[in-house]
Amino acid sequence: MIELQSVSKVYRSILGRAITAVEDFSLRVDDGEILGVAGPNGAGKSTLIAMLLGFTRPTVGHIAIDGLAPRRYVERNGVGYLSELIQIPPRWHAEKALRRYALLSGSSNADAPTVAATAIKRLGLEEHCHKKIKTLSKGNLQRLGFAQATLVPRRVYIFDEPTHGLDPVWTHRFRGVVTELRAPDTIVIIASHNLDELQRLTDRVAIIDHGRLQRVVITGDVPDSSAAIVYRLTVVEGAEEVRTVFPVSFDHGRGEIEVRVNDLPELNRGIAELIGRGVIMAGVKPAESVLEAQFRQAVGSSARRS
């Protein structure tokens, strides 16, 4: 279990100017949970992660991983960590880099090559394993970073912008790997700007802005059926009928039409009518997920307060 209690982090310049990166942040992450952390640039996500890894200490408040201070926990157990920037000495070769990290992760000298080779295979880096780090593309470097984070099983994983630079195929594979990491005694924390990614992978998302925890969204929640909502219809045939049934609508072209309804029953009645009129539809989905709507509200209200 990870526990953050009233955590604040204030950076001070040489001239004494204070910058509050994280303010009065409290959250508990239970075993078995995948937590997302979302927020705009400069919201405090990186500082929060640095504190979770014990790279820096809170100015005020308390952080504990399984009851231990973060640095103490990491020095005892290690954490599967992927940083936003993949910083590995540029002269190292990919495979040798993984062998080194395997040794630091606790593998024996005899096991390290096997551990590295398994990670290389899992992340599809076979053809790049003898290349120098400085010659790797952004996507391959990201996969290498992910390989070093998952070299050996850990109880805690922290991924900062994990799909940054990955192509769609590897973004999809990443989701599979994260799903495999889910276990009753494992905690995975994913910080990302990609709300769709967080919606798919996480159980809860902590939305941070201006260093404060704005709200925690449970990603499995469905939209409030009594609130006005926007849906996106994908129409194959009869798109011109939509405006007559849903007066408040916007045609994005190629059969993609956004409609605004007051509640879910109104949406269902409208769709039934469209089908009755012979309209052929391929899909209906919310124009934005619960998470996107919550994020927009949280960040908007935080901006208004500041």
Partner 1 sequence: MTTRANLTTYGLWQISDYVTQRGILSFVVGLMVGAPVRFMITGIQRAGAAPERIESAANQLSAGAAATLGVLIVLLAVQRSVSGDRADGYYRFYFSKPVPVWAFYLQRYVAFGAGLLAMVALLLLIGLVSGVPLHVGGALSYFLILYLAFGGIGFLCSAITRYDWSALAVIWFGALLLRTMYAQQATGWRHWLAAVLPRAELMDGVRTALFDGIAPNTYDVAGLVGYGLVCLVLGLVIIQRRPLAS
Binding residues for partner 1, per CB under 8 A? 50, 53-57, 74-81, 83, 85, 87-89, 91, 100-101, 103-109, 112, 145, 148-149, 152, 155, 158
Residue 217 C-beta: closest distance to partner 1, Å: 27
Residue 147 C-beta: closest distance to partner 1, Å: 11
Select 118 or 234, whichever has its Cβ closest to partner 1: 118
Select 112 or 291, whichever has its Cβ closest to partner 1: 112
Residue 123 C-beta: closest distance to partner 1, Å: 15
Is the Cα dihedral 245, 246, 251, 254 positive or negative? negative
Q: Any idea how long the chain is?
A: 306
Select 115 or 257, whichever has its Cβ closest to partner 1: 115
Give dist(CA 265, CA 262) in Å, integer. Answer: 9
Residue 18 C-beta: closest distance to partner 1, Å: 16
Give dist(CA 157, CA 12) in Å, integer. Answer: 30
Select 65 or 239, whichever has its Cβ closest to partner 1: 65
Select 76 or 296, whichever has its Cβ closest to partner 1: 76
Select 149 or 208, whichever has its Cβ closest to partner 1: 149
Residue 58 C-beta: closest distance to partner 1, Å: 11
Strand ranges, E, within 53-191 = 60-65, 80-82, 156-160, 187-191
Those residues whose C-beta lies under 8 Å from the C-beta of residue 178, and which sit 6 or more positions away, are 34, 159, 162, 188, 190, 201
Select 150 or 302, whichever has its Cβ closest to partner 1: 150
Crossing angle of helices 94-104 and 138-149, rounded to 10°: 20
**Among 289, 214, 302, 298, which residue's Cα sits nearest to residue 27?**
214
- Core vs surface per residue 269-278: b (16+ CB within 10 A) or e: ebbeebeeee
Phi-psi region of 44 (alpha: psi -120 to 50; beta: other; left: phi over 0): left
Residue 229 C-beta: closest distance to partner 1, Å: 42
Rg of the chain (C-alpha set): 23
**Among 70, 85, 218, 37, which residue's Cα sits nearest to residue 156?**
70
**Among 204, 201, 195, which residue's Cα sits nearest to residue 286?**
195
Q: Give me the half-sphere count of Cα atoms (radius 13 Å) on the Cβ side of residue 40.
A: 11
Residue 237 C-beta: closest distance to partner 1, Å: 54
Residue 101 C-beta: closest distance to partner 1, Å: 6
Select 161 or 288, whichever has its Cβ closest to partner 1: 161
